[in-house]
């Protein structure tokens, strides 16, 4: 990190941990009405410093961290009573949002005129599941009730250019990923990379209308109308044109990737996209990528390489 970036980080840190702003957040959340030993600023700083400097396993670790930062003699019970407040989670959520939203720097870029240089953001969205104590099955039901009766899923949206998360949402494991996709308007002049759990044709149509772009792994079993078809070497596959995808599925070549222009009839108007298909020799099945990136600028191999960023980051 160069001197200019260090200066930017310092300025952002002072803004995020502004005493007046953080204390006001605590007051607005009704977490703290009177400023005593534990103020919202002090608590936010101590918890952040503790998480950043050591492995936290119990609340006692936070208690010791608070003592280390501010040299107090507060008892564990008094400290615990503050964290046990119902409004504590609201305050910490606000502070975490400020950290995620403000403490980011652009760490990756592309030369002007090169592929991907036109995007303001390259956004990745995915979810990760975690098993929790079985006693919580009523509140956080798992998808696999026999193996994991209780489980949660962490839905995370990340900006690749900043190498930082932008939103993090914790839900029961049974929740779908689609509601946690960025709003279409937020994806204007941006590129979204998402897995097949996020596939929703109506949502993709709205993203396209808003001026956004996407590369999404598609599901097997789709049946759009095939408008055009090309093999990776550029040969036009006329026999695959103007037919439903399921009707030509057995005729798809496996030695080369295929690019199809496909179309769905939605309520308002047709949705036309590019569908890239490749054969996976290990799993013995086809892989599908849907995109609205222009073919004149983004070739089949470029789109495949761009989508691989999801696996590299995970």
Q: What is the pLDDT of residue 209?
A: 92
Q: What is the pLDDT of residue 195?
A: 86
Q: How far is CA 107 from the centre of its chain?
A: 17
Q: What is the pLDDT of residue 4?
A: 59
Q: What is the pLDDT of residue 148?
A: 82
Q: What is the pLDDT of residue 25?
A: 83
pTM for the complete prediction?
0.69
Give me the residue spans of the domains in the chain: 3-102, 181-313
Q: What is the pLDDT of residue 156?
A: 85
Per-block mean pLDDT, blocks of 10 residues, the chain (314 long): 54 72 83 81 85 86 88 86 87 78 67 84 86 88 83 87 82 85 90 84 90 90 91 91 91 91 87 93 91 92 85 54
């Amino acid at each position: 990190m160069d001197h200019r970036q260090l200066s930017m980080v310092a300025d952002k840190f002072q803004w995020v941990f502004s005493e007046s702003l953080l204390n006001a957040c605590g007051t607005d959340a009704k977490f703290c009405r009177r400023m005593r030993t534990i103020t919202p600023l002090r608590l936010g700083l101590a918890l952040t410093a503790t998480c950043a400097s050591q492995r936290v396993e119990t609340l006692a670790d936070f208690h010791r961290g608070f003592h280390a930062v501010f040299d107090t003699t507060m008892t564990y019970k008094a400290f615990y009573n503050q964290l046990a407040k119902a409004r504590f989670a609201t305050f910490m959520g606000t502070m975490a949002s400020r950290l995620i939203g403000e403490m980011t720097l652009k760490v990756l870029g592309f030369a002007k005129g090169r592929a991907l240089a036109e995007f303001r953001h390259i956004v990745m969205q995915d979810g990760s599941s975690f098993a929790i104590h079985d006693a919580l099955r009523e509140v956080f039901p798992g998808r696999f009730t026999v193996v994991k009766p209780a489980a949660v899923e962490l839905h995370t949206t990340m900006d690749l250019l900043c190498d930082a998360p932008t939103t993090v949402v914790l839900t029961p494991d049974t929740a779908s990923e689609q509601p946690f996709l960025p709003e279409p308007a937020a994806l204007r002049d941006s590129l979204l990379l998402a897995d097949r759990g996020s596939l929703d044709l109506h949502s993709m149509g709205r993203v396209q209308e808003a001026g956004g772009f996407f590369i999404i792994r598609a599901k097997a079993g789709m049946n759009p109308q095939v408008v055009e078809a090309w093999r990776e070497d550029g040969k036009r596959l006329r026999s695959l044109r103007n037919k439903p995808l399921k009707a030509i599925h057995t005729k798809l070549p496996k030695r080369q990737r295929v690019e199809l222009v496909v179309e769905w009839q939605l309520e308002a108007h047709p949705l036309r996209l590019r569908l890239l298909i490749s054969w996976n020799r290990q799993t013995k099945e086809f892989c599908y990528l849907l995109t609205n990136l222009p073919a004149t600028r983004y070739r089949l191999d470029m789109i495949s390489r761009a989508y691989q960023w999801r696996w590299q980051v995970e």
